[in-house]
Amino acid sequence: MLAAGASLCEAPAVRVEVPGSAIAVDDTGEGSVVVLLHTGTGDRTEWDLVAERLGGWRIVRFDLRGFGETPVGATAFSYGDDVLAVMDALGIGAATLAGGSFGGLVALEAATIAPERLTRLVLLAPSLDDHDWSPEEQTFYAAEEAALAAGDLEQATRLNVALWAGRLDPALQARVAATQRRALQLQSHAEAQARDPDPPVGNRLSRLTMPTRILVGDADLPDFPAIAERLARELPDARLDVLPGAGHLLALERPDAVAAAILET
């Protein structure tokens, strides 16, 4: 079911009703379809710089639950199922699916649920649910958890911006701070949680036979090049490109390279 709704983007959003929530979606343009999934620091506006480079495509981007204008809701859910629900509501049979970091994991989850619905995957420094995180990552997560337990959303926001957006210019850092703060606010009042994929997505990679393009920066935290290299080994039809000097938020830092990867046919 679709209903009109306000948007943080220039184009008005529609609302896709899902159990327990309503997902804020922007659906613009015409042509081949690409669905864009933002990182864990962002919302659908994170794709602005990429979207303006995708002429001739139908671009669907939406706020995952707990981000932007989409509340978590009161019902347990699957992020992968939400992707397919948005596609169903918009009448999209199959699409290219692009996701950054956490959004890359969501893209992989959706692909394991309905691989026939996805023509290609484009993964930007994707996360993976069975990865053994480095001490640097674990130190960050412990500091973030401590800030959240103390109710200090500003400190948690600062930690995230410093780690994930430190290479961006001040204006983009401010945008990341705003979207991250909003996500932390939504998630701190969440009544439900996402169900963990069972088995983990990382256990099902060999089933994903669609062409997959993976981008990662060589200046990112070491976990993400390691995940990218693993995906390139284990996915049957994958290509990995390492971007010299790039950090983690590639849709903001390297929109030309990201758009070029999506536009490949």
Of residues 151 and 192, the one with the higher pLDDT is: 151
Instruction: Report residue 13's pLDDT band, with 50, 70 and 90 as the boundaries.
Output: confident
Structural domains of the chain, ranges and CATH numbers in brackets: 2-263 (3.40.50.1820)
The mean pLDDT value for 19-25 works out to 94
pLDDT at 112: 96
- In terms of pLDDT, which residue wins out, 3 or 43? 43
- Kindly tell me if the per-residue pLDDT of 235 is higher than 60: yes
Instruction: Give percent above pLDDT 70 in the chain.
Output: 95
Statement: the pTM of the whole predicted model exceeds 0.85: yes
Task: Place 189 in a pLDDT band, splitting at 50, 70 and 90.
Answer: confident
Q: How far apart are CA 190 and CA 73, in angstroms?
A: 7
Q: Is residue 8 scored above 50 in pLDDT?
A: no
Look at residue 237 in the predicted model and tell me its pLDDT: 97
Percent of the chain topping pLDDT 90 = 90
Q: What are the residues whose beta carbons fall under 8 Å from the beta carbon of 186, sequence distance 6 or more? A: 66, 67, 71, 72
* Residue 63, pLDDT above cutoff 90: yes
pLDDT of residue 217: 98
Using the structure block, give the residue that is written with the tokens 């390279």. 257
Per-residue pLDDT band for 190 (boundaries 50, 70, 90) equals confident
Q: How far apart are CA 151 and CA 72, in angstroms?
A: 19
